[in-house]
């Protein structure tokens, strides 16, 4: 077994790395990030954010806290030129841009610009050919904005949706200049994927049923390009509300979907009632985390061979919080 694979399968229950608390404008900063880390940002209750890092060996830093972000309704993050760029919608619709550098310091969000526009219903971020790109959802329509050469943001432009009303959106890239946008239709019944080539041409949409079960539908999706294919995670719920858990599907580059399947089938359990989900590519594998309706947070890895790691309790390693919407960022494919 290769050393890299050994690093991936270490259990989440490893003791967390010691780290200082975090507050923008304070001297205390979380420990620096290193290559192979995955950064996770989520809410902590209704008035702040919580940030942690999962190290290459599977250890978690203690959560650091960023106060003053009330009523967060959307968040997204991505790596861009070696730093984590996070976007958070809070306090009735204000959109803030936060940058965390690899030395653990954060830029003051007041000095950073964001694209103009009204309140968003969903948000995703990625880096396409060295340009920060935001994909937003507003009144059922998907739009994107990109940082220009003068560091300003372009006006929001429509993303194809085949005329459908959209309820959740996620953006990623294949690392070769292609922007990939995954969309969940308004009824939660199907997921569509649209790709924009490096020369800015949109291809046809590719749609897949969001659930193998006619009595279930999806409420939220997250997508990442990992292991040479697009991987999509979805929070699925029974029509009668009997359960809510995380499902997963893949779309290969030949346009072939695999059906969405529940992770409790692959892993053997599904702790808590899922509320929000995030995925990110990592060292040739996929990392996935989800929060529950009572604020807990769980994590797993899907390996290159399609197998899954057992669920790990993030709070058990990184500290107790009340998690809500979440996002993860990695600098590896």
Contact 314, 287 (CB under 8 A): no
Indicate the SS3 state at residue 196.
strand
Whole-number Å distance between alpha carbons of 112 and 93:
17
Q: What is the pLDDT along the chain (333 residues), one digit of tens a residue?
A: 333 333 333 333 333 333 333 444 332 345 666 778 999 999 999 889 999 999 999 999 999 999 999 999 999 999 999 999 999 999 999 999 999 998 888 988 877 889 998 899 999 999 999 999 999 999 999 999 999 999 999 999 999 999 999 999 999 999 899 999 999 999 999 999 999 999 999 999 999 999 888 778 999 999 999 989 999 999 999 766 668 899 999 999 999 999 999 999 999 888 999 999 999 999 999 999 999 999 999 999 999 999 999 999 999 999 999 999 999 999 876
Mark 168-187 as b/e (b = at least 16 C-beta within 10 Å): bbbbbbbeeebbbbbbbbee
- State phi, psi for 124 to the nearest 5 degrees: -145, 155
CATH architecture for residues 3-330: 6 Propeller (2.120)
Whole-number Å distance between alpha carbons of 214 and 233:
18
Q: What DSSP line would sit under 129-173, residue for residue?
A: TTEEEEEEEETTEEEEEEB-TTSPBPPPEE---TT--EEEEEEEE
Token pair 């996070």 in the structure block, residue: 86
Whole-number Å distance between alpha carbons of 60 and 294:
21
Whole-number Å distance between alpha carbons of 193 and 181:
6
Q: Which helix (H) or strand (E) holds 282?
A: strand 274-282
What's the predicted TM-score (pTM) here?
A: 0.90
Token pair 């209750």 in the structure block, residue: 45
SS3 of the chain: helix, strand, coil, percent, to 5: 5, 45, 45
For residue 319 the two structure tokens come to 């500290």
Nearest to 56 by CA among 37, 33, 32: 37
Which residues does 233 contact at the CB level (< 8 Å), separation at least 6? 221, 222, 223, 246, 247, 248, 277, 278, 279, 288, 290
């Amino acid at each position: 077994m290769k050393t890299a694979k050994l690093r991936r399968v270490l259990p989440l229950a490893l003791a967390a790395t010691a780290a200082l608390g975090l507050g923008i404008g304070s001297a205390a900063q979380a420990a620096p990030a290193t290559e192979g880390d995955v950064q996770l940002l989520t809410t902590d209750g209704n008035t702040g954010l919580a940030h942690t890092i999962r190290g290459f060996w599977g250890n978690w830093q203690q959560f650091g806290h960023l106060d003053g972000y009330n009523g967060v309704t959307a968040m997204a993050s991505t790596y861009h030129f070696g730093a984590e760029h996070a976007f958070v919608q809070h306090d009735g619709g204000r959109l803030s841009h936060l940058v965390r550098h690899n030395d653990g310091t954060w830029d003051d969000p007041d000095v950073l610009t964001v694209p103009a526009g009204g309140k968003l219903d969903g948000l995703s971020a990625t880096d396409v050919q060295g340009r920060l790109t935001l994909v937003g959802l507003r009144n059922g329509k998907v739009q994107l904005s990109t940082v220009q050469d003068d560091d300003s943001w372009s006006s929001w432009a429509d993303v194809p949706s085949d005329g459908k009303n959209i309820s959740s959106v996620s953006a990623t890239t294949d690392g070769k200049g292609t922007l990939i946008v995954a969309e969940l239709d308004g009824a939660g019944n199907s997921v569509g994927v649209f790709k924009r080539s490096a020369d800015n041409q949109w291809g046809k949409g590719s749609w897949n049923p969001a659930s193998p079960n006619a009595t279930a539908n999806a409420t939220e999706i997250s997508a990442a390009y990992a292991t040479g294919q697009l991987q999509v995670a979805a929070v699925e719920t029974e029509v009668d509300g009997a359960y809510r858990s995380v499902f997963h599907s893949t779309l290969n580059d030949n346009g072939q979907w695999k059906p969405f399947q529940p992770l409790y089938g692959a892993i053997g359990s599904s702790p808590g009632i899922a509320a929000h989900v995030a995925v990110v590519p990592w060292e040739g594998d996929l990392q996935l985390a989800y929060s529950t309706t009572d604020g807990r947070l769980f994590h797993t890895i899907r390996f290159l061979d399609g197998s899954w790691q057992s669920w790990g309790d993030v709070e058990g390693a990184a500290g107790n919080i009340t998690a809500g919407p979440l996002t993860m960022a990695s600098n590896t494919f």
